[in-house]
Amino acid sequence: MPRLEIADDGFRLDDRPFRIISGGLHYFRVHPDQWADRLHKARLLGLNTVETYVPWNLHAPRPGAFRLDGGLDLPRFLDLAAAEGLHVLLRPGPYICAEWEGGGLPSWLLDEDGIALRSRDPRFLAAVDGYLAALLPPLKPYLAGAGGPVIAVQLENEYGAYGDDPAYLADLAGLLRTHGVDVPLFTCDQPADLARGGLDGVLRTVNFGSRVEAGLDALRRLQPTGPLMCSEFWIGWFDRWGAAHTTRDPADAAADLDRLLAAGASVNIYMLHGGTNFGLTSGANDKGTYRPTVTSYDYDALLDEAGDPTPKYEAFREVIARYAPVPDEPVPAPGPKLAPTVVELDASAALFDRTSLFGRPVRADRPLTMEQLGQSFGFVRYEAELPTAGATVLRVGEVRDRAQVFVDGQPVGVLERENHEHALAFLTPRSGARLTVLVENQGRVNYGTGIHDRKGLLGRVTVNGEDLADWSSSPLPLDGIDDLAVAPTGPLVGPAFHQGSFELARPADGYLALDGWTKGHAWVNGFPLGRYWSRGPQTTLYVPAPVLRPGRNDITVLELHATTTRTVELRDRPDLGPAED
């Protein structure tokens, strides 16, 4: 493919004027068997480019390890994009935000006391160097200079909203070049942050969802010549637990796209297809109050969570056709869906009895953080003995993020970071009673200075004002649920797995509804669908067709509290909750 050039009057490709019309599509939020379908729908929309972040934390789950397989096979994704005739904007970070766990930064960085992320801290830059040394050489054939689809690479991500150190950005640019990136680099920032987030000699782009003229004017004031580009044209938004589902009127979003293209600007639509925060990968925000992000990343995008075109897709296609060629093919029809089916989960097993799921317990005079335990996702089980019987007040410095407290196996309360809770009162039945605290990582903060977000029980832990010592900390990463050995049983006290099966003639997309369940996680055939929570807004979890199979299929639910039913339902449509007024 020809190389992209940055000229005073705009982009040029193969020495011809070129406008980037791109859409966001994160390969790691889409089942790999569905990548080709989503990319084909990108081309039918009239896009000539797709954009993707790269999540460092998934590709490098621990120091010295690096993965490019399965759902992380980025070379295969790039091959599929090229087969559709699409260019690619690659955004490798190292920080990506993306409402993704920790903004994509691996949790093991936080095992270093005092490390300053997104800075010139030598420890951070050394880790970034290792990441890029593993990521970029396999991608070199996919750069445009080698005939591949990647025409530009982003430097950092909205850095101006976080810091103001051009030397740090220069260090990152040097690492990208050292490791073989020979295509143009660009930065992106919101209008107010453009001055702080840019680097001389690197193309600046701007992010916004409305006020098109003001955003482009802010960019032009700082960058008098060169291409105008909105690298994130926000057409929807993400949701958080306990709030309403966010939507945007298709006509309103399309009108702003029209203004953007009429101004001669290039665009990356955020998002073409949002996808799903499968498993435990959703992030969180903390601007004084911690707010975890939901499982769905539907984003009110052009393609919904199942990849079906929305009314917004059709509205945008009409606008794009005024400025660029659009394939003379009909808008794709929605894909097949599962017939509604009720599934009984008639076998159960108590979580705390499944010792094989827990890592080796580590004893210390205080609770250890997830990072100290070498753990990224999931839970930690903390245990200690309570010294005396009677009235007890447990105080914790910081709960990161949600703690269920048990005494001799009986639940006595919950402490939530979101509600700024630090203390819990209960009656201890006997001296030496076993205190168990199950702490859930609900998502590391992905934006702002809060990204230094260590998980577990932090700070001083006291019982009736006295330090509680001799703790056992056991990691529960939930990275596999094989061999649960569930069996028919009556109601269980405390967290428990529930399992059932259903028969299927032909796989299709569907949605798992958990009406009557409280909070937990769900899997189908071992594939992690994600978190559910009765507080909403979303009440269904997307089930991709490729995780299903003809014949028997298994559903597993880890319920952390209690359920009013032993059934779940597979449905043919999602419920992401009531929209904002």
Q: Give yes or no for residue 418 having a pLDDT over 70.
A: yes
pTM listed for this prediction: 0.97
Helix then strand then coil, in percent of the chain rounded to 5, is 25, 35, 45
Q: Considering only 111-115, 493-497, 525-529, which range has the smallest mean pLDDT?
A: 493-497
| Residue 394: both structure tokens together | 């447990």
Phi, psi of 521, deg, nearest 5: -140, 155
What are the start and end residues of each CATH 3.20.20.80 domain in the chain? 18-320
Q: How confident is the model at residue 581 (pLDDT cuts 50, 70, 90)?
A: low
- What is residue 305's three-state secondary structure? coil
Task: Tell me how far apart the alpha carbons of residues 55 and 446 are, in angstroms, rounded to a whole number.
Answer: 12
Angle, CA 129 vertex, CA 158 and CA 274 arms, to 5°: 40
| Beta-sheet strand order (sheet of 362-364) | 362-364, 471-476, 379-385, 434-440, 402-407, 410-416
Q: Point out the catalytic residue in the list 51, 99, 101, 158.
A: 158
Mean pLDDT over residues 188-194, rounded? 98
pLDDT of residue 552: 98
CATH 2.60.120.260 assigned to domain 355-476? The reply is yes
Task: Tell me how far apart the alpha carbons of residues 369 and 452 are, in angstroms, rounded to a whole number.
Answer: 13
247 Ramachandran zone, left/alpha/beta (phi>0; psi -120 to 50): beta
Tens digit of each residue's pLDDT (9 = 90 or more) over 197-225: 999 999 999 999 999 999 999 999 999 99
Give the CATH number of domain 18-320. 3.20.20.80
| Residue 351: both structure tokens together | 């979580």
For the chain, the distance separating the N- and C-terminal CA atoms, rounded to the nearest angstrom, is: 46
| Residue 316: both structure tokens together | 């945008």
Residue of 539, 576, 497, 555 whose CA lies nearest to 341: 555
Residue of 243, 244, 300 whose CA lies nearest to 272: 300
Q: Give yes or no for residue 442 having a pLDDT over 90.
A: yes
Q: Point out the catalytic residue in the list 51, 99, 101, 232.
A: 232
Q: What's the CATH architecture for 341-350+484-571?
A: Sandwich (2.60)
The reply to whether 329 belongs to the active site is no
Task: Tell me how far apart the alpha carbons of residues 427 and 436 are, in angstroms, rounded to a whole number.
Answer: 14
What are the start and end residues of each CATH 2.60.120.260 domain in the chain? 341-350+484-571, 355-476
| Residue 139: both structure tokens together | 């991608």
Q: Are strands 185-189 and 150-154 parallel, antiparallel or unpaired?
A: parallel
Tens digit of each residue's pLDDT (9 = 90 or more) over 289-333: 999 999 999 999 999 999 999 999 999 999 999 999 999 999 999
Q: State which amino acid sits at residue 580.
A: E
- Per the listing, tokens 């945008």 go with 316
Eight-state DSSP code of residue 29: G
Phi, psi of 565, deg, nearest 5: -145, 165
Average pLDDT along the chain = 97
Number of other CB atoms surrounding residue 575 within 10 Å: 15
Integer angstrom CA distances of residue 22 from 86, 101, 151, 277, 465:
9, 25, 12, 22, 58
- Per the listing, tokens 């400025």 go with 323
Q: State which amino acid sits at residue 269.
A: I
Sign of the alpha-carbon dihedral angle for 339, 340, 345, 351: positive
Tens digit of each residue's pLDDT (9 = 90 or more) over 4-59: 999 999 999 999 999 999 999 999 999 999 999 999 999 999 999 999 999 999 99
Task: Tell me how far apart the alpha carbons of residues 408 and 383 are, in angstroms, rounded to a whole number.
Answer: 10
Task: Tell me how far apart the alpha carbons of residues 183 and 147 are, in angstroms, rounded to a whole number.
Answer: 11
pLDDT of residue 1: 58
Integer angstrom CA distances of residue 125 from 11, 196, 371, 403, 525:
31, 20, 19, 34, 40
Task: Tell me how far apart the alpha carbons of residues 101 and 118 are, in angstroms, rounded to a whole number.
Answer: 16
The reply to whether 371 belongs to the active site is no
Number of other CB atoms surrounding residue 165 within 10 Å: 14
Tens digit of each residue's pLDDT (9 = 90 or more) over 73-105: 999 999 999 999 999 999 999 999 999 999 999
Residue of 34, 27, 73 whose CA lies nearest to 50: 27
Task: Tell me how far apart the alpha carbons of residues 456 and 393 are, in angstroms, rounded to a whole number.
Answer: 19
